[in-house]
Amino acid sequence: MTPYIRLFAAFAVASLPLVSVSSAQDHPMTPPGMTHEQHMALMKQHGQTAMGFDQDKATHHFTLTTNGGTIQVTVVDPADQLTHDEIQTHLREIAAAFGRGDFEKPLLTHGEVPPGVSEMQRHKDEITYTYEGLEKGGVVRIATSNAEALNAIHDFLQYQIREHVTGDPMPVQQ
């Protein structure tokens, strides 16, 4: 992690409001007095910084598969070439970073380490991350044959489904 990224990460995390794990609101990490909508707006703001594109101009989807899963991001407007290119750049970076065990961008986006990350880092040599460009964006395919790594990938993707409120199915897709 470069000194600039370290500084940015420290600032981003420090600028997050303090959170309460026992909050009974929609999101378990939403601070008291913050609505779910405010939490989502903050996540979008941090996501735009970490991912490099306007979150309202893209759609995220996460799929759990029998050997891992996928992270897919597409443009809302097919004519939006700028966002399309930014999505592809981001997903290429994500595939490379995750392959090195670097999960800094999800931390910056969500203000917390998502479930499964520590296990995915521990098993980084047993997980593959493959980027593929799509007409409307891109996809990162995540695969492993290690059972512990697979559970961690599924935990990570289910967290993403909840956080991004994608409505994607939580069970494994064949």
Cα–Cα distance for residue pair 106/118, rounded to 1 Å: 13
Using an 8 Å Cβ cutoff, are 45 and 129 in contact?
Answer: no
Using an 8 Å Cβ cutoff, are 144 and 154 in contact?
Answer: no
What is the percentage of the chain residues whose pLDDT exceeds 90? Answer: 57
Both tokens assigned to 103: 């999960």
pLDDT for residue 27 is more than 90: no
Cα–Cα distance for residue pair 119/152, rounded to 1 Å: 6
Q: Check residue 80 and give its pLDDT.
A: 97
Radius of gyration of the chain (CA): 16
Which helix (H) or strand (E) element contains residue 134? Answer: strand 127-134
pLDDT for residue 148 is more than 60: yes
- Of the two residues 143 and 47, the one the predictor is more confident about is 143
pLDDT for residue 7 is more than 60: no
- Of the two residues 8 and 165, the one the predictor is more confident about is 165
What is the percentage of the chain residues whose pLDDT exceeds 70? Answer: 70
Please tell me the least confidently modeled range out of 10-24, 52-66, 103-117. Answer: 10-24
Per-residue pLDDT tens for 88-123? 999 999 999 999 999 998 777 767 889 999 999 999
Using an 8 Å Cβ cutoff, are 102 and 124 in contact?
Answer: no
pLDDT for residue 1 is more than 60: no
Cα–Cα distance for residue pair 101/116, rounded to 1 Å: 12
Cα–Cα distance for residue pair 117/107, rounded to 1 Å: 10
Q: Check residue 17 and give its pLDDT.
A: 39
